[in-house]
Amino acid sequence: MSETEQIAKLSEVSWISDLMSERLSASGDTTGIPYYHFRWKKKWLADYVAWPKTNEQVSSILKYASKKKIPIVARGGGTCYYGSASPTRGGIVVDTKSMDCILDINKDEGWVRVGAGAVWEILDNELAKQGFTTPVKPQSGVASTLAGWLSIGGKAGIGTPKYGSMVDNVFEMEVVRPDGTIETVAGDEMLPFFGTVGIAGVVTSIKMKIIPVPETTEGLMFAFQDLERAIDAVNRLSKTKTPPIYLRLTDLEYEWRIQGGLPPETTGLFFVLVTYSGETAEVEESLKTARGIFEVAKGMEMQKSYYEKNWDDRFIVEMKLKLEVPTLSMQNFWIPLDHIGPIVKRMYKIASKYRINSCFYLVLGRPNKARLCVFAPSDHRNWMHFMSGKSMLHKLVKTMYRGGGELYTFGLQNTVYIKRYQKNDYKRFKEIRNKWDPDGLMNPDKLTRCNMSYTRLNLMFTMNGYFRRLQVVLRRAKNILQIPVSYQEAMSR
């Protein structure tokens, strides 16, 4: 079949497969359980998987799907943890990773045009050979694709405190609309594609900013006994004259799990990592300022080798935790820095009450806003422990909204919160859906509808919390996945 020929039968197309192994691998994400959120879905397994390489191939399959009323799910690296690219009604998963080539580069004007399925780390390595890099990138860059990070918003990652979010660094995009129309969009026309998990169409290529590889990239890492002092250091570092390219706050359990242990002399409970890049003199001055902020906050400097280990892991830091535990539930919040403390303290208090695991990390997006990820490491085979972690996250979502924050990522499982708490976003998503995809074929059951009501969800997690608390009181609450150092009890007081 030629690229311009209409698809007659999916089974006749060489780049489309209905093999069970392919359908399984393309129907889940890093939860590791493709069928896990069955209550949110009517069908969890894709019927076909497509690997287009050109705009025309994407157009042909979307035209076919539109005519036959077949659901379409665009997929990148599958690193999102919220079912953003998980089928809910079967249909066709359009895997974009074959569209990964650098199509054009202009060093004088400082831009690159690249296939939207390119993996961030691979792209960065290729650009580095020519002396350039992308200003911003996600912490899941080892597997995340350009369009994948774009589809969840691209607001907080490496480079964002200094260079802005991904939308600030994209000049234009080639897209294929749900009806198969191929377009080039720029300016405000790109906005319906940022943070909307593909409901407006499939992004096929991106023209984005590039910068020369910085002369110097250096950083520091300090440990703190006190959460408030660690947060104060983050707040002050976010407002310095020269913004860092990376500012991260983590706790003991998170650090222990991603690195398999800590240096022997470590006594801290919270860890702040900051990295600067640019001209050598500028970076040296920034490090001097940062060290002064850390010392005033009574932080203890970590070994340089431990900072470097964390910096070297910058593209795999999210993936490492997801691979370290059997089942990892998590939530992502987009919140003001002064709201961090109450949420983290409530997390520790609930975790202690339920006798479950918990940890967090925070990465700065812009001077006053950060992405806070809270985790409940578990094993779904220990059902009550697992569901108690989900119950904790649900409680934290309500706490977060009361504090003026919002969810960072929506995907599938968070759609239930949008209509209740983020009414303006819900209205905008409905308008995008109605304008470009009135039949609801593009990534159905995301952003604008959910098969489970908030009332049912709230009742389910509330009852689970009661039962878990009863288990704890009766001393029948099983502890799993414990780390050698326990600190949750101290934090809950």
**What is the average per-residue pLDDT within 384-390?**
92
- What's the pLDDT band for 10 if we cut at 50, 70, 90? confident
Looking at residue 31, its pLDDT comes to 60
Is residue 369 a contact partner of residue 335, using CB atoms and an 8 Å limit?
A: yes
pLDDT at 491: 46
Average pLDDT on 439-466 reads: 91
Which amino acid is it at 440?
G
Check whether 30 has a pLDDT greater than 80: no
Q: Give pTM, 2 decimals.
A: 0.92
Which range among 281-295, 350-364, 469-483 shows the weakest confidence by mean pLDDT?
A: 469-483
Where in the sequence of the chain do the CATH 3.30.300.330 domains occur?
Answer: 325-413+453-492
Q: Which of 109, 107, 112 is nearest to 124 (CA)?
A: 112
Q: How confident is the model at residue 86 (pLDDT cuts 50, 70, 90)?
A: confident
The residue-averaged pLDDT of 113-136 equals 96
CA distances from 68 to 9, 91, 282, 424 (A): 11, 10, 59, 32
* Domain 216-313 bears CATH identifier 3.30.70.3450: yes
In terms of average pLDDT, the best of 27-41, 120-134, 469-483 is: 120-134
pLDDT at residue 163 is higher than 80 = yes
Q: Within the chain, which residue ranges are assigned CATH 3.30.43.10?
A: 10-95
Q: What is the mean pLDDT of residues 461-467?
A: 94
CA-CA-CA-CA torsion sign (301, 287, 120, 86):
positive
Q: Which CATH architecture has domain 102-212?
A: 2-Layer Sandwich (3.30)
CB neighbour class for 111 (10 Å; exposed up to 12, middle 13-18, buried from 19): buried
Q: Which residue spans of the chain are classified as CATH 3.30.70.3450?
A: 216-313
Average pLDDT over residues 252-261: 90
Instruction: Give 37's pLDDT tier (boundaries 50, 70, 90).
Output: low
* Confidence at residue 40, expressed as pLDDT on a 0 to 100 scale: 62
Q: Which residues of 463-491 are buried (b: 16+ CB within 10 A; e: fewer)?
A: ebbeebbebbeeeebeebbeeeeeebeeb
Tokens 């490090």 correspond to 287
Average pLDDT score over the chain: 91
**Cβ contacts of residue 410 below 8 Å, gap of 6+?**
82, 84, 152, 195, 197, 418, 446, 447
Question: Would you say how long the chain is, in residues?
Answer: 493
CATH architecture of 10-95: 2-Layer Sandwich (3.30)
User: Do 209 and 110 contact (CB within 8 A), yes or no?
Assistant: yes
**How many Å apart are CA 191 and CA 88, to the nearest integer?**
25
How many CB atoms within 10 Å of residue 345?
16
Tokens 């242990």 belong to which residue?
261
Residue 38 has what pLDDT?
56
Look at 101 and 13; give whichever has higher pLDDT: 101
Taking the C-alpha atoms of residue 348 and residue 143, their distance in angstroms, rounded to an integer, is: 31
**What share of the chain has pLDDT > 70, as a percent?**
94
Residues 420-429: pLDDT tens digits? 999 999 999 9
Please list the residues that pair with 361 across neighbouring strands.
250, 373
Which residues have a Cβ under 8 Å from the Cβ of 119 and sit 6 or more positions away?
77, 97, 100, 141, 142, 143, 144, 145
Q: Does the pLDDT at position 160 exceed 60?
A: yes
Residue-level pLDDT at 25: 85
For residues 83-106, average pLDDT: 93
CATH 3.30.465.10 placement within the chain: 102-212
Average pLDDT (99-124) is 96
| 426-455 average pLDDT score | 92
CA angle, 390 as apex, 385 and 392 as ends, to 5°? 95
pLDDT-based confidence at 318, cuts 50/70/90? Answer: confident
Q: How far apart are CA 155 and CA 160, in angstroms?
A: 7
CATH number for the domain whose boundaries are 325-413+453-492: 3.30.300.330
76-104: average pLDDT: 90
Which of 32-41, 79-88, 171-180 is predicted most confidently?
171-180
pLDDT at 11 over 80: no
Are 95 and 58 a contacting pair, CB within 8 Å? no
What does the pLDDT look like over 260-294, one tens digit per residue? 888 888 888 999 999 999 999 999 999 999 999 99
* For residues 66-83, average pLDDT: 89
The sign of the dihedral angle between the CA atoms of 321, 323, 329, 333 is: positive
Q: Kindly indicate the confidence band of residue 32, based on its pLDDT and cuts at 50, 70 and 90.
A: low
